[in-house]
Amino acid sequence: MKRILLALIVCSLFSCKTSQNTTTNLNKIKWISGSSNCKENNDSLIQVVKYNDNTFILRQNKCTNYEAPFLFLFLGNKNALLMDTGATEDEIQFPLYKTVKKIISEWEKSIKNPIDLIVAHTHAHGDHIAGDIQFKNKVRTVVVGLNVSDITSYFKLKNWPLQNGQIDLGNRIMEIIPIPGHQQASIAVYDYATKILLSGDSFYPGRLYVHDWAAYKLSIQRLTDFAGAHKISYFLGNHIEMTNIAGKDYPTGTTYQPEEHILPLSFKDLKELNKALHIAGDIPKHEIHNSFIIDPK
């Protein structure tokens, strides 16, 4: 309490105007979560949540695709990084390029400098890459390829998946962490500015589909080690499939999730996942936890 009071006094004296201090509480966000009758859904096609001046989280409307993936946009002084492009190609149903471009233009005005856009992916599954087509052949835009070789060459990663890499967006360093297992080209991304860690489909409040058990186990161990050595504000994955009741998920394909779990997971959840994988050993095991379900394929 004393510390909060002190912070308030310091803030009022120095007016706390740095962008990092005006952040949105992601545990409190009410995401658009579809409708029981999609014909009556009036939500925006893409929900945009501003985390701070140069960090945005987007969610696709469940009524255009039940996967309702989350997408992430980080803005630096030289580059913007868009992680993932959603589950729908069509720019009428899913106006992603237009939405991203508008955010970038406003940022460019505020820094008085044009920037380039890098479009990359947490992994290569269809529900995170469909919108790539909207970004291809656009000016000042590069779309990173989907194979491990594309990722290692673009981000200059050595010794995949054992070594991380970094990319500088212009006064903003992002760490690229290989985490194959859900999909062979899965990566996690850590933003040193906001301390947000993106964990894709490998760790989120839902069914964690494991396609390569041995690789996934090693990846989650490495991610846990990384998280233990760095401050993390939020672990953010790509979907929400859990309800707000412990251990209970929505059925696959549902277009209405009025009582869904919050998007962020915690370090405690990650350690719980890591421990469960270790206990299971070499034999893939389906296991229901409070905030996620381990689901080997």
Q: Which residues of the chain form contacts with Zn ion (CB under 5 A)?
A: 125, 127, 201
Rounded least distance, CB 290 to Zn ion, Å? 21
* Closer residue to Zn ion, CB minimum distance, 125 or 222: 125
* Closer residue to Zn ion, CB minimum distance, 59 or 125: 125
Alpha-carbon dihedral 236, 239, 243, 245, rounded to 10 degrees: -30
Return d(Cα 79, Cα 170) in angstroms, integer.
6
Rounded least distance, CB 275 to Zn ion, Å? 23
- Closest residue by Cα to residue 198 from 83, 93, 297, 113: 83
Rounded least distance, CB 5 to Zn ion, Å? 43
Rounded least distance, CB 182 to Zn ion, Å? 6
Check the CA dihedral 177-182-185-189 and report its sign: negative
Q: Which two tokens stand for residue 62?
A: 């469940």
* Closer residue to Zn ion, CB minimum distance, 127 or 249: 127
* Closer residue to Zn ion, CB minimum distance, 75 or 146: 146
Reduced to 3 states, what is the DSSP secondary structure of residue 210?
A: strand
* Closer residue to Zn ion, CB minimum distance, 62 or 125: 125
- Closest residue by Cα to residue 261 from 60, 27, 23, 48: 27
Written in H, E and C, the secondary structure of 143-200 is: ECCCCHHHHHHHCCCCCCCCCCEEEECCCCEEEEEECCCCCCCCEEEEECCCCEEEEE
* Closer residue to Zn ion, CB minimum distance, 54 or 202: 202
Rounded least distance, CB 252 to Zn ion, Å? 11
Return d(Cα 199, Cα 209) in angstroms, integer.
13
Q: Which string of DSSP letters, residue by residue, matches 80-114?
A: EEEE---S---TTTS-HHHHHHHHHHHHHHHHTS-
Beta carbons within 8 Å of 172's beta carbon, 6+ residues apart: 54, 74, 75, 76, 77, 191, 192, 193
* Closer residue to Zn ion, CB minimum distance, 202 or 224: 202
Rounded least distance, CB 81 to Zn ion, Å? 19
Rounded least distance, CB 228 to Zn ion, Å? 25
- Closest residue by Cα to residue 73 from 32, 28, 34, 107: 107
Rounded least distance, CB 177 to Zn ion, Å? 16
* Cα 181 → chain centroid: 17
* Closer residue to Zn ion, CB minimum distance, 85 or 141: 85
